Structure 1
Amino acid sequence: MPVQLLPASAAAFAPRASSVNVVLGSKVEPWLTQTLKRINRIKRPLNSVPQHQRCLTETLSSSNAIWTLASLMLSKAPETELRKDSNPLVEALFNYQVIHLEAYIVHVDMVLRNEVAYKLTPDTIESLIEYHKDIHCVNAKANTYDWSEKDQQCKKLHEDFVQAINKFVFRTHVSALEGLEEDGAGELLSGKSDEVKTNVMALFKPLLPPPPRIIDVVRQPPLLPSSPAAQSMWTQAPTPVSLPAPVESWRVLPSSPSVASTSADSGNSSIWANIGMSEVQIPSPPPAFSQPYSSAGLFYGSPVVTSPIPHLPLPSMLAPQCGVSVGYNSFGWDRYQEYTTTM
């Protein structure tokens, strides 16, 4: 990267030098000769490089050699104090101001970098500093939330701007000297003013609040069997669970009356045998069962609660009374021979 050759007058807070540093090459460009002849009221000889250098140095070192780099339209007051009007022209007149970015030339190099360096005038720097303090910082504070170090941060933001605007030096190609006018004044051509606006407005930094703090979430480590807390948990006696006693399948009554009972108790069969046909009373209609028979009792689980089952006659209890003497209405099976002969 080439060394940036700038005089001491281009440093921050440095006063304007009495003479501009001008460096020309061994050959002078024709456009520079024509420009110097156009701005000089008194005809001066321009036949050599030293004559061009002397004429350009004296012209740019004049106190009137002030260049207008660009013009900025900025607000006159903070946003909360701006005037509201239905006419946009009235709002523009009362709420906005134009600040001209005026500068003077501190360096001309036509040998190494072919550039011209400009530095803002003290009046321009003072106007920008005042705008930054009274308007920009006020708007920045109003548009951000409050935190403990907000005032200190805003103060630091303004101090940084003061340093940056005093260090600001705009460099452009030496062809900008074609806009040179009488008394060394001038104006940037070829759209260079937009570049100056962009560079100056980039110095107005926003007020950035601090980033949110990251809160460390303290998570409890998992309990291992070896830890004391885990040992107390694992050593607790489990709650006893009462399980119903298993029911033997041969003691379960059959679900259908047509199946004979398999109970080993002979007393039960005698009870069924002594009950006569007339002693059995079947309700009409038969009561509905609250819950059908379930075989869930064969397995481990909660006991099944059922309603009492009414006593129904089984075929075994009717065996002593059933025979050929039992008839249907007047027809008897014991007189079967009599009916067959008469027929």
Structure 2
Amino acid sequence: MPVQLLPASAAAFAPRASSVNVVLGSKVEPWLTQTLKRINTVKRPLNSVPQHHRCLTESLSSPNAIWTLASLMLPKTPESGFKRDVSNSLVEATMNYEFLHVEAYIVYVDMVLRNEVAYKLTKDTIKALVDFHKEVYCVDAKANTCDWTDKERQCKKLHDDFIQDINKFVFRTHVSALEGLEEGGAGELVSGKSEEVKNSIGALIKPLLPPLVECSNVSEDTHYGQGLPFVTSGLVPVPALQLLSPSSVDLSTYTT
């Protein structure tokens, strides 16, 4: 297995580079040629590998080359702040949940060793996820667990670890994802890859686990927070903490 090498721009907290690292082989796949022809409003020659390399690099390096990797449905507030409407579950869900579109830019294209493309989350997406983790997830995690000596410190560490992990996060997938390329270098993931993004981000949000000794007298029904904070309904993940989502809402309505 070839060693995974990523550019410095893929590192945690690193700024976006002015140019994307693109590595092409000695022969260009026909699908890439067709994709580049489709997205270019101005016809340009694509008769050689260097011409393909230049065209792809320029497209992906554009400031507007932002990809939508997935859409998450997240609660706007902690469970204690939910607005209730027992007469209309759809309205209740609309009041309490909102969509977060996970956006990223490409940092690396390798069509020689690994045949993969690597995405790094935008600053706005990282900030939105960090805010959600701090203001909603951690608040509910603390509310739904018993008290113990180092609870506040452990919760702070949980959040600090998430900040590091989400800034380190790089999503890698097969280069065929570039078939979703659109004019200006932007694009959307195709072929169900969004599910992988949702699962990968969900895996970064860890549960707040109390010491069993200090909480041995707590009811088995106490919610400690599950390891994965999202479950998938259709194509949209929702919080898996049992106290976060109204049980009467058909979340399959909110598919994208």
Establish whether TM, by shorter chain, passes 0.5.
Answer: yes
Amino acid at match of 2:167: N
What letter matches 2:173 in structure 1? T
Shift of 1:211: 3.3
Residue 95, structure 1, aligned to residue 96, structure 2: yes
Paired residue for 1:35? 35
| Secondary structure of 1:166's aligned partner | helix
Amino acid corresponding to residue 174 of structure 1 in structure 2: V
- Determine which structure has more spread, i.e. the larger CA radius of gyration: 1
CA distance in 2, matches of 1:60, 1:77: 36
CA distance in 1, matches of 2:2, 2:81: 49
Report what 1:66 is aligned to.
66
Query: Secondary structure of the equivalent of 1:52?
Result: helix
The offset of 1:212, in angstroms, is 1.8
Aligned to 2:2: 2
Q: Which has the higher contact order (CA 8 A, sep 6+)?
A: 2
Q: Aligned equivalents of 2:127 and 2:157: distance in 1?
A: 18
In the alignment, residue 212 of structure 2 is paired with which amino acid? P
Find the residue that maps to 1:202 and give its secondary structure. helix
Give, in angstroms, the shift of residue 4 of structure 1: 0.4
Correspondence 1:131-280 to 2 at 5 A: 131-212=132-213
Give SS of 2:106's match. Answer: strand
Q: Distance in 2 between matches of 1:21 and 1:40?
A: 20
Aligned residue for 1:135, secondary structure, equals helix
Offset at residue 80 of structure 1 (A)? 1.3
Q: Deviations over 1:158-199 (max 9, x none)?
A: 000000000000000000000100000000000000111111
* Deviation for aligned residue 1:102: 0.1
Can you list the C-alpha shifts for 1:135-157, whole angstroms capped at 9, x where unaligned?
A: 00001001110011100000000
Query: How far apart, in 2, do the equivalents of 1:85 and 1:124 lie?
Result: 30
Superposed CA offset, 1:290-310 (max 9, x none) = xxxxxxxxxxxxxxxxxxxxx
Structure 2 residues without counterparts, runs of 5 or longer:
215-256
- What's the CA shift string for 1:197-227, capped at 9, x where partnerless? 11111111110112327xxxxxxxxxxxxxx
Distance 1:166 1:211 in 2: 31
Opposite residue 17 of structure 2, the aligned amino acid is A
SS of equivalent to 2:204: coil
Output the amino acid matched with 1:10.
Answer: A
Distance in 1 of aligned mates of 2:188 and 2:136: 28
Greater alpha carbon shift after TM alignment, 9-18 vs 202-211: 202-211
Residues in 2 aligned to 1:54 and 1:112: alpha-carbon distance in whole angstroms: 20
Q: CA deviation at 1:50?
A: 0.4
CA distance in 1, matches of 2:165, 2:131: 14
Aligned to 1:275: none
AA at the equivalent of 2:148: W
Q: Deviations over 1:249-302 (max 9, x none)?
A: xxxxxxxxxxxxxxxxxxxxxxxxxxxxxxxxxxxxxxxxxxxxxxxxxxxxxx
Question: In structure 1, what is the Cα distance between the partners aligned to 2:79 and 2:138?
Answer: 11
Q: Unaligned stretches of 5+ in structure 1?
A: 214-343
Distance in 2, matches of 1:42 and 1:190, equals: 28
Aligned to 2:76: 76
Per the alignment, in what secondary structure is the counterpart of residue 41 of structure 2? coil
Total equivalences in the alignment: 213
1:299-338 residue CA offsets vs partner (Å, 9 max, x unmatched) = xxxxxxxxxxxxxxxxxxxxxxxxxxxxxxxxxxxxxxxx
Which residue does the alignment assign to 2:56?
56
1:113-156 per-residue CA deviation (whole Å, 9 max, x = no partner) reads 00000000000000000000000000100111001110000000
Runs of 4+ in 1 over 2 A off after TM superposition: none
Letter paired with 2:198: K
Alignment partners' CA distance in 1, 2:14 and 2:149: 36
State the Cα deviation string for residues 97-118 of structure 1 (Å, max 9, x = none). Answer: 1100000000000000000000
CA displacement at 1:47 relative to structure 2? 0.6
CA distance in 2, matches of 1:25, 1:2: 15
| Higher strand fraction (1 or 2) | 2
1:2 and 1:112 mapped to 2: Cα distance? 7
What is the distance in 1 between the residues matched to 2:144 and 2:93? Answer: 22
Q: Within 5 Å, give how 1:107-122 maps onto structure 2.
A: 107-122=108-123
Tell me how far apart the structure 2 counterparts of residues 16 and 134 of structure 1 sit (CA, whole Å).
27
